[in-house]
């Protein structure tokens, strides 16, 4: 059977609140193969992080995955037992968060935490686990891993802490890593170092990686494939070159156009008017309609995805494929 590494169909994660149902993720499809890096791009509130959490069964009440199919190497994760999920998480599927202190316990030496993680999923002696932990630290570029393994999280800089979190994610050589804005809080030169490690490791280990980010620049340089989210849906997807060079959805075009690097100095920046709709007040039809220059009456109905050879978009008035800057 030729199973995909990850296949998500029609994922819906909703939050029941006293004021109504927040449809944080509202019909998301994703496919990922080994060795691929998918950039999941969106602005705040687009549902990109909740998508990541949903895949791992990490959505807390009042949130709930209400619909959809999540298959990891063919295995249905939605109907998997909590025990099975726990077995997969941190072992076959790992997650890296924006704030490494979400992963690290501040009162334990990082070695202790890493040995614990190793032994949670593998029957090895403490000494073996420690050796694995040390190797993982070396792999992510932490100098003197033999000494640093006995340090506490606060003794590391922000960038080093994020490396430790990545080392923990890599301990079991997972098949899939979900990374939620892991370099957003870091300085440019440090971000670049970590991106470099991640790029090499994915290539060498043949992992699949979902890189959740608001930064088109980072995704453009790191990923093979891009999915752009807006108001809980993927509005455009394709290879990095397809999406960034010839976006079909007006929202993607707008995002690219508003990057300062894409604009002439002295001219006003091209901007997307208005704000993203609040989660409880999304407009009928296409959620981007009120901000879209191409909107017509047709957009009062929600557009379904048009798919052409693995490239998809949700828009009644897509931009011309050849319309390049």
Partner 1 sequence: MTGTAPMIQVAGVTKHFRRKTDLAERLAMRVGLAEEPPTVHALDDVSLQIAEGEVVGLVGESGCGKSTLGRVVAGMLPVTSGQVARDGKDIAKLKGAEARAMRLATQIIFQDPMSSLNPRKKVIDIIGEAPRLHGLVKRGEVRAEVERLMGLVGLDPAMANRYPHQFSGGQRQRIGIARALAVNPDFLICDESIAALDVSIQAQVINLLVRLREELSLTLLFISHDLSVVRYISDRVVIMYLGRVVETAPTDRIFDAARHPYTQALLEEIPRIDRRGHRFSSVKGEIPSPVNPPQGCHFHPRCPFAMDRCRIERPVLTQASPGHSVACHLDGGTGRPLSEAGVTTGDIPAID
* Residues forming the site for partner 1 (CB under 8 A): 43-44, 157-160, 187-193, 195-196, 199, 214-218, 220-221, 240-241, 244, 254-256, 258-265, 268-273, 275-276
> How many DSSP H helices and E strands does the chain contain?
10, 12
Between residues 57 and 153, which has the closer beta carbon with respect to partner 1? 153
Q: Which two tokens stand for residue 317?
A: 């008035």
Least separation in angstroms between residue 161's CB and partner 1 is 12
Q: What's the number of CA atoms in the CB half-sphere (13 Å) around residue 14?
A: 16
217, 259 in Cβ contact below 8 A? yes
Q: How many other CB atoms are there within 10 angstroms of residue 135's CB atom?
A: 13
Taking the C-alpha atoms of residue 263 and residue 274, their distance in angstroms, rounded to an integer, is: 19
Between residues 125 and 192, which has the closer beta carbon with respect to partner 1? 192
Partner residues linked to 310 by β-bridges: none
Taking the C-alpha atoms of residue 289 and residue 302, their distance in angstroms, rounded to an integer, is: 10
Between residues 31 and 263, which has the closer beta carbon with respect to partner 1? 263
Q: Which two tokens stand for residue 155?
A: 């003794």
Between residues 127 and 188, which has the closer beta carbon with respect to partner 1? 188
Least separation in angstroms between residue 191's CB and partner 1 is 7
Least separation in angstroms between residue 167's CB and partner 1 is 16
Least separation in angstroms between residue 181's CB and partner 1 is 13
201, 139 in Cβ contact below 8 A? yes
Least separation in angstroms between residue 229's CB and partner 1 is 12
Between residues 105 and 275, which has the closer beta carbon with respect to partner 1? 275
């Amino acid at each position: 059977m030729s199973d995909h590494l990850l296949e998500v169909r029609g994922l819906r994660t909703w939050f029941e609140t006293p004021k109504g149902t927040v449809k944080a993720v509202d019909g998301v499809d994703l496919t990922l193969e080994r060795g691929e890096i998918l950039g999941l791009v969106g602005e705040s509130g687009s549902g990109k992080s909740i998508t990541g959490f949903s895949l791992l069964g990490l959505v807390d009440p009042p949130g709930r995955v209400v619909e959809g199919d999540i298959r990891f190497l063919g295995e249905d994760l939605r109907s998997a037992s909590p025990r099975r999920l726990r077995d997969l998480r941190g072992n076959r599927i790992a997650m890296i968060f924006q704030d490494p202190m979400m992963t690290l316990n501040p009162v334990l030496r990082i070695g202790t935490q890493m040995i614990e993680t190793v032994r949670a999923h593998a029957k090895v002696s403490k000494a073996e686990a420690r050796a694995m932990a040390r190797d993982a630290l070396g792999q992510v570029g932490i100098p003197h891993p033999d000494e640093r393994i006995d340090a506490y999280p606060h003794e590391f800089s922000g960038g080093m802490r994020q490396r430790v979190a990545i080392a923990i994610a890599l301990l079991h050589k997972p098949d899939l890593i979900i990374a939620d804005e892991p370099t957003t809080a870091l300085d440019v030169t440090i971000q670049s170092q970590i991106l470099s490690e991640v790029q090499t490791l994915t290539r060498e280990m043949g992992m699949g990686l979902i890189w959740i980010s608001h930064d088109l620049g980072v995704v453009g340089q790191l990923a093979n494939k891009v999915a752009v989210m807006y108001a809980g849906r993927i509005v455009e997807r394709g290879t990095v070159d397809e999406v960034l060079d010839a976006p079909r959805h007006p929202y993607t075009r707008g995002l690219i156009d508003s990057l300062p690097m894409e604009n002439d100095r002295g001219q006003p920046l091209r901007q997307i008017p208005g704000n993203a709709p609040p989660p409880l007040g999304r407009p009928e039809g296409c959620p981007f309609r009120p901000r879209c220059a191409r909107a017509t009456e047709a957009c009062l109905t929600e557009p379904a995805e048009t798919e052409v050879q693995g490239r998809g978009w949700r828009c009644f008035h897509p931009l011309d494929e050849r319309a390049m800057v």
